[in-house]
Amino acid sequence: MIYTFKNMLFNDKVYAYSDPIDPVYGSAEKCRVCGGFTSSLEWIGEKYVKFSKKTVGDFTFGSCFPFLLSERAFLLIRDSVKGILGFREVHDKTNRRFYCPKIETCVARIDEEKSGFIRAKSDLAVCSSCGIGATIKHYDKIVIDEIQMQDICILGNLPGTTLFNENLLQLVRDNKLTNVEEIEITKYKCPWGQ
Residues that bind Zn ion (CB under 5 A): 31, 33-34, 127, 129-130
**Strand residue runs (E) in the chain:** 3-5, 18-21, 24-25, 43-44, 48-51, 59-60, 68-69, 84-91, 97-103, 105-106, 109-110, 118-119, 136-138, 144-146, 152-155, 162-164, 182-184
Separation CA 127–CA 7 (nearest Å): 29
Residues 162 and 66 sit within 8 Å (Cβ to Cβ)? yes
At its nearest, how many Å lie between Zn ion and the CB of residue 70? 35
At its nearest, how many Å lie between Zn ion and the CB of residue 17? 31
At its nearest, how many Å lie between Zn ion and the CB of residue 37? 9
At its nearest, how many Å lie between Zn ion and the CB of residue 43? 23
Nearer to Zn ion, 38 or 70 (CB): 38
Nearer to Zn ion, 57 or 133 (CB): 133
Nearer to Zn ion, 81 or 130 (CB): 130
Nearer to Zn ion, 123 or 174 (CB): 123
Nearer to Zn ion, 34 or 69 (CB): 34
At its nearest, how many Å lie between Zn ion and the CB of residue 127? 3
- 41 burial (CB, 10 Å; 0-12 / 13-18 / 19+) is middle
Strand 152-155 and strand 105-106: the pairing is parallel
On the CB side of 47, CA atoms within 13 Å amount to 21
